[in-house]
Chain A
Amino acid sequence: MAASQQSAATPGSALAQPVSKTAAPSGAARADAPHMALRAVRFAYQRPGDPPKVVLADADMAVPRGAFILLTGPSGAGKSTLLRLFCRLEEADAGAVLLSGQPVDELSPAVLRRRVSYLQQTPTVVPGSVRENLLLPFAFKSASGQPRPADAELSARLARLAAGDIPLSQEASTLSVGQRQRLCLARALLTRPEVLLLDEPVSALDAESARAVLDAAESFCLDDGGTVVLVSHAEFTPARVSPVQYALSGGVLTWMQASST
């Protein structure tokens, strides 16, 4: 049991807390289950010739729906790995990763990744216009039945990220890093995910872009009822949310406290 509680959460702000070890439920989602959970998850990197580097040792975590989690820890501690476990870009060596009580490996990977959206640290765009980039997720089979947003919706989404001045016809590769990251976040939000996994989303951004991205993340949590896990190396000063902080170091995931703003 590596997720130890260091300080008691203040009443009313205990959005996330360690869970007791129980067998992972199988089958359909459970209404009373946390939105996302880790149960005794172990993950180690194995490079040929080197001893395995354990980044998660029997980690437990329970994230209620609508929580804003801040995950901190030194470089190389495995913060990104933890995010990637939630969207199955990594596979746990042992234990269970759950979404609404259902093991993530029981879901179709494409459906899981639409529900749990992971935003890469370095924004990646495809060759083509801003519009083509925003509509990219709607070209995939997993989007069948989902209406393709009209230009007005695309522009409104960009405007909410303080990027309304970017023309939809502009070539995406000509955007600055900050604009690209806002485009990538807008693209992820257009697919209407339940969970947003943000991997150092503002580390390479100017102050204006960084604030726009973090405001959008806070709004996703508070206004849309979404769940956010933010990995941040730098200091994060929330504007509206009360994040629950976890620290990951030396393979141990520690519940710090629910900070208040």
Chain B
Amino acid sequence: MDAGVIDIAPWRLLLALVFTLVAGGCSLALKLGLGRDILIGTVRTFAQLFLMGWVLGIVFAVDSPWLVMGLFLIMAAAAAQTARGRVKESAVAFAWPMYLGMTSVYLLVTTMVTGAIVHVQPWWKPQYFLPIGGMVLGNSMNSVAVALDRLFADMRARAAMVEMKLCLGADAAEASDDIVRTAVRAGMIPSINSMMAVGLVSLPGMMTGQILGGSDPTQAIHYQIVVMLMIVGATALGSTILTLIIRRRCFGPGDRPLLR
């Protein structure tokens, strides 16, 4: 257990490319047309992770809260950008609220985990703050994308219902409350489902990493439990706050619906 992690030599890392070759082979054989995406994805995986490894090395060495927060903001921007790209709606401007909302919610959740639960001293210690923040962002950006996609789709599909309620004296919030509920629910369900399967179907990333690093599995599960709960909380908070903020943007002056 104390042997620590076994280093993967560079040439062995290249050996792992055999898996992407298999994926490329499938694409070719079945004419899936995914070859280009697999190639770009592989190159980006190498480039982004090498870059992140290098940056983390510097951030750990400098050990400055400003640098940690700066990197977190960049990661949040990338998460917001990715989530934004998954939502297909051009009639409503939601990029800025999405970025500001995601950054503040996930900053709050990450700080609560490092400062109050794991009780790291100081709370922004990069070895804890950045990986935990990364997990919050990575898992929750999907839920935000799902919730917003659902919000916009339902605002269009149920435009007649929204309008009918407005005509009977509802305000924008009352006219769209059931749409908001459905959207937040859609965003939250995957992370709740993953709580059901964790430990039975999958050994999640944080725990796996700690076990590979030589930690005691009973200690590793403590971290994993915190991670699972924090993801559910971040997902709920992120989907709810962003859906509520961006719902407002689906209405123009005079509570006029913009999507129909």
Contact = CB atoms under 8 A, between A and B. Distances in A.
B256 A141 contact: no
Nearest to A105: B254
Nearest to B172: A109
Contacts of A184: 164
A141 B168 contact: no
Contacts of B256: 88-91, 109
A35 interface: no
Interface in A97-150: 104-105, 109-114, 117-120, 122, 124, 126, 136-137, 139-143
A122 B168 contact: no
A136 B165 contact: yes
Contact of A140 (B163, B171, B253, B254): B171
Given A89-B256, A90-B256, A191 B161 contact: no
B160 interface: yes
B169 A124 contact: no
Contact of B169 (A104, A110, A120, A122): A110
Contacts of B167: 87, 89, 113, 117-120, 188
Contacts of B87: none
A124 B170 contact: no
Interface string B212-254: 0000000000000000000000000000000000000000111
B63 interface: no
Contacts of A110: 166, 169-171, 255
A112 to B, nearest CB: 8
A187 interface: yes
Interface in B7-47: none
**Number of chain A interface residues as a range:** 20 to 34
A182 to B, nearest CB: 15
A98 B26 CA distance: 66
Given A120-B160, A124-B160, A140-B168, A88 B254 contact: yes
Given A91-B252, A91-B253, A126 B169 contact: no
Nearest to A121: B160
A257 B195 CA distance: 70
A122 B170 contact: no
Contacts of A89: 163, 166-167, 256-257
Interface in A146-195: 184, 187-188, 191
Contact of B168 (A90, A104, A187): A187
B89 interface: no
Contact of A109 (B163, B164, B168, B255): B255
B254 A91 contact: yes
A260 to B, nearest CB: 32
B161 A124 contact: yes
B163, B170, B256: residue with the most chain A Cβ atoms closer than 10 Å: B170
Interface of A: 87-91, 104-105, 109-114, 117-120, 122, 124, 126, 136-137, 139-143, 184, 187-188, 191
21 contacts: A88-B254, A89-B257, A91-B254, A109-B166, A110-B166, A110-B170, A113-B166, A113-B168, A114-B168, A114-B169, A119-B167, A124-B164, A136-B168, A137-B170, A139-B174, A141-B171, A142-B171, A143-B169, A184-B164, A191-B168, A191-B169
